[in-house]
């Protein structure tokens, strides 16, 4: 099969975990141990989130007073290189030496009229307590929003319209390469006249991964995150995990925009546009997800919603 596996930024740097290179590498290693198990006889394309990572780089840039902070598109490009390097190295240590790898900086076009620019929803960076978050918002001009029982900075998250490097991604796959691309939803860009330029935004990696998987004619889209499935009544005594769902039915449940919502939306769009399945599940369960034994599988063949 041709697999597109989207690793969540919050799975690579877990919520509340110290945002160190060592912690990130350990989480990448866990993901790669799973990916290595499904690599034989499959074509692999790996995308990843970058919310915590790009927020951390922004904080580090703010500590330097001699220049304006680097814009989010540049920081997004930096995270593509950083995370791609770790994935290449950890997965390369597990697969045969002959398997080629390529990490591709991926520019993605967005629409300047996208309403997301007026309504920031994409969480980036670490979590804060309420008082600290409000202080930072006042100092730095940030927009903040609740994230569980904490708060995070939120930025614009416009929809991906076009993946500029889709042709070289296909060429690399045809040569048998494992391709790491569209990191963080890709580098957000738009045209100013006939000139392409970067945009101060972070594209949702799940929506971009769905577009990527559709354009690559992928057989399966795997959205790997820090929970083992999509749940109804999440965090309540009545919570139940969803094993299978039809797009029309799971969309009615109204998942949160800043967390599970984009994952469900991306999975539904991929299923509708291709007729193939998308699965949302845990980074530690990627092998079981591909084998159909774990996660929330969204497909047109599902009969309503089936709980575990």
By annotation, the residues acting in catalysis are 9-10, 122, 205, 263
Question: Cα separation of 271 and 246, whole Å?
Answer: 9
Handedness of CA 74, 75, 79, 82 (dihedral sign): positive
Tokens 């296909």 belong to residue: 170
Positive or negative: CA dihedral 261, 200, 147, 225: positive
CB 95 within 8 A of CB 70: no
């Amino acid at each position: 099969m041709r697999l597109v596996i989207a690793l969540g930024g919050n799975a690579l740097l877990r919520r509340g975990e110290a945002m160190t290179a060592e912690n990130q590498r350990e989480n990448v290693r866990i993901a790669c141990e799973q990916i290595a198990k499904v690599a034989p006889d499959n074509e692999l394309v790996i995308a990843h989130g970058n919310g915590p990572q790009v927020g951390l780089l922004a904080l580090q840039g703010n500590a330097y007073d001699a220049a304006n902070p680097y814009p989010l598109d540049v920081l997004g490009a930096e995270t593509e290189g950083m995370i791609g390097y770790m994935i290449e190295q950890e997965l390369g240590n597990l697969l045969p030496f002959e398997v080629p790898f390529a990490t591709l900086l991926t520019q993605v076009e967005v629409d300047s009229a996208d309403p997301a620019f007026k309504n920031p929803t994409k969480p980036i960076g670490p979590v804060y307590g309420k008082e600290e978050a409000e202080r930072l918002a006042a100092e730095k001009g940030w927009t903040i929003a609740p994230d569980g029982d904490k708060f995070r900075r939120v930025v614009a998250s416009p929809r991906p319209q076009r993946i500029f490097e889709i042709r070289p991604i296909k060429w690399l796959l045809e040569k048998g390469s494992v391709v790491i691309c569209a990191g963080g939803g890709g580098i957000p860009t738009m045209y100013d006249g006939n000139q392409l330029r970067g945009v101060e935004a972070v594209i949702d990696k799940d929506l971009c991964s769905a577009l990527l998987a559709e354009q690559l004619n992928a057989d399966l889209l795997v959205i790997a995150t820090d929970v083992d499935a999509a749940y109804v009544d999440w965090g309540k005594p009545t919570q139940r995990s969803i094993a299978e769902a039809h797009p029309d039915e799971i969309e009615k449940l109204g998942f949160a925009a800043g967390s599970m919502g984009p994952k469900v939306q991306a999975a539904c769009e991929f299923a509708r546009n291709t007729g193939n399945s998308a699965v949302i599940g845990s980074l530690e369960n990627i092998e079981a997800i591909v084998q159909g034994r774990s996660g929330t599988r969204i497909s047109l063949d599902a009969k309503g919603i089936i709980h575990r």
